[in-house]
A and B are shown apart, each in its own frame.
Chain A
Amino acid sequence: MSKGLPEARTDAAMSELVPEPRPKPAVPMKPVSINSNLLGYIGIDTIIEQMRKKTMKTGFDFNIMVVGQSGLGKSTLVNTLFKSQVSRKASSWNREEKIPKTVEIKAVGHVIEEGGVKMKLTVIDTPGFGDQINNENCWEPIEKYINEQYEKFLKEEVNIARKKRIPDTRVHCCLYFISPTGHSLRPLDLEFMKHLSKVVNIIPVIAKADTMTLEEKSEFKQRVRKELEVNGIEFYPQKEFDEDLEDKTENDKIRQESMPFAVVGSDKEYQVNGKRVLGRKTPWGIIEVENLNHCEFALLRDFVIRTHLQDLKEVTHNIHYETYRAKRLNDNGGLPPGEGLLGTVLPPVPATPCPTAE
């Protein structure tokens, strides 16, 4: 996770890896006495400000994918997360929405602005996942898409005349929606996460959590965590990528207590205690989306957007992408793709990546 001073990086993508705009830090950036004549003060710490200004000008990309059976509230949740209609809901009852026969990949881009910072958000939807009678290998189109984005980036990177800022379409984060059965994970959930946790950051999320009482929720979460552990599935934040003790303690707490986040999404507002809140109104009460006593949406939002957004991108670039790149280079005999031996044609993008050293 990026701290106050990021380490110097020499690769070309550095312009991408700027710290995300953070809320006002508790400690002032400059020493208390702003006296440039003070002995020993050079002024390097102003680099934060410079990088911040740069980010605000260039903006940054974030690509989030949502996977889960239809009807689990994926689009509503994404809209709630980013407080805008970034995902078109397929839930209109009047229209005849046919379940697609194979998994489709639909990527929609939006530019959101907040506090002078521009974010180019791409939401990648996967309709048709898990909806058929036979769902064997329904994760393959998703894996293929993710690898295709890595391939695109790789091709740009090895170009002689590179673009100043390589457009980043790689999937930074994959929200996997677990159905709130209250029993355990479904076999399909296990299969998907086993295959994809090695190529992309997966954040499991318990959808429509307003159907479970507090006890049921905590029991279910415990069972899910145990099942994921027993099956060797590493969801984000992965233990092996914790950089230091501070990271580890913070992430441990999230991994062992909060995740998977039990969320409720809504785009409707209701009046509660004189305030307008996002929620769901039932005959027995109003479920407030941002109330931590009701559901963990606020935790998910803070986690993905306010604290770990940059880290998600970094892990995608430094770990997942590098793994892909290494494999491709190895396959191609140590040469970058596009330049086969004696000018041979580049092998096609693999649908399924190699099993990483397990």
Chain B
Amino acid sequence: MDKEYVGFAALPNQLHRKSVKKGFDFTLMVAGESGLGKSTLINSLFLTNLYEDRQLPEASARLTQTLTIERRGVEIEEGGIKVKLTLVDTPGFGDSVDCSDCWLPVVRFIEEQFEQYLRDESGLNRKNIQDSRVHCCLYFISPFGRGLRPLDVAFLRAVHEKVNIIPVIGKADALMPKETQALKQRIRDQLKEEEINIYQFPDCDSDEDEDFKRQDAEMKESIPFAVVGSCEVVRDGGTRPVRGRRYSWGTVEVENPHHCDFLNLRRMLVQTHLQDLKEVTHDLLYEGYRARCLQSLARPGARDRASRSKLSRQSATEIPLPMLPLAETEKLIREKDEELRRMQEMLEKMQAQMQQSQTQGEQSEAL
């Protein structure tokens, strides 16, 4: 009877064990005007305090500020799984009086990550590729406007084919329920009008139960997510403590689905679709970039300096393509460093284990 049993049903477990050991990395970008609650939401989502030492510049300083790209990394561990989360922030976006082309540094950044990956993939040491590509971009829309502003549209159009966009309405406690619905509908209409492709949450399998399907449909309908963030715990008159914002007229509970879509966002972003976002980034967006790049490389005389300028004129948003392979030794050194670090970690762990078993042995001897 064991003849029919081959045993590969255990494959998912093997994959699971491997990924647990390897860890998981994810790069999330947040973009939008300042003051929409981006930092608070990130802190609420990942229960961290990434922005503790942030200094907010004054208005007069921001008059001439250009957009910068900031990266923050944090390691989160939960249930034995380690996630290395990289947050990409875009302070200065939408701040100036003249915001023309302020999205270009962001586009360039995203493409640079693709370019880096392309080089790594085509290089010699592919075992330890660092994936720094942006897997998801949370774009914050103001609740005070009437939908997408011209700047929002310009930004989204510039990046929608290069990164997974999840639109989010920040500080949603500024809106009454009807206003929220109307705003969401307006944004959805505008996205369709402007032909902006946001991240499509995949349909659930047909064999899932009805409850799950209904939940899934509800979640999809609540896009863009109207969120409220808070890192403060409020004790509301004897009831259990909740994370929220206390006003004179009541308390907004961040995790209450009737108050805002925070739970939906967290579920979809972190709990169910983290892997899918990475896959879409790799299979769709990165492949698109790669195909465009290699096609233009394949043109005759593409390595010539003169025709490179021709290339950059034709594809205005594409950065001029570097030659492959490039700076091999630098990369090799980096990768070896990474390996060394990992081996050191393992060594330390083994040492700690040995120490523990030693002290345990001594204790049992002493008794």
Contact = CB atoms under 8 A, between A and B. Distances in A.
A282 B96 CA distance: 33
A287 B247 CA distance: 9
Contacts of B248: 214, 293-294
B42 to A, nearest CB: 16
A235 to B, nearest CB: 15
Given A181-B34, A210-B174, A187 B63 contact: yes
Contact of B176 (A179, A213, A282): A282
The DSSP consensus for interface residues of chain A is loop
Nearest to A283: B258
A211 B176 contact: no
A97 B36 CA distance: 24
Nearest to B62: A187
Contact-residue bracket for chain A: 35 or more
Contacts of B150: 99, 131-133
Contacts of B57: 184
A286 B246 CA distance: 13
B60 interface: yes
B251 A93 contact: no
B173 interface: yes
Interface stretch (B76-84, B138-146, B280-288): B138-146
Interface stretch (A64-72, A159-167, A307-315, A350-358): A64-72
Contact of B97 (A136, A179, A213): A136
A288 interface: yes
A71 B142 contact: yes
B245 A231 contact: no
Interface stretch (A168-176, A188-196, A242-250, A337-345): A188-196
Contacts of B246: 213
A69 B151 CA distance: 13
Interface in B147-168: 149-151, 154
A131 B249 contact: no
B309 to A, nearest CB: 28
Contacts of A90: 146
A305 B154 CA distance: 42
Contacts of A133: 98-100, 150-151, 154
B97 A191 contact: yes
A179 B258 contact: no
Interface string A187-222: 111110000000000000001101101100000000
B253 interface: yes
Interface of B: 33-36, 56-60, 62-63, 95-100, 142-146, 149-151, 154, 171, 173-174, 176-177, 182, 185-186, 245-253, 256, 258-259
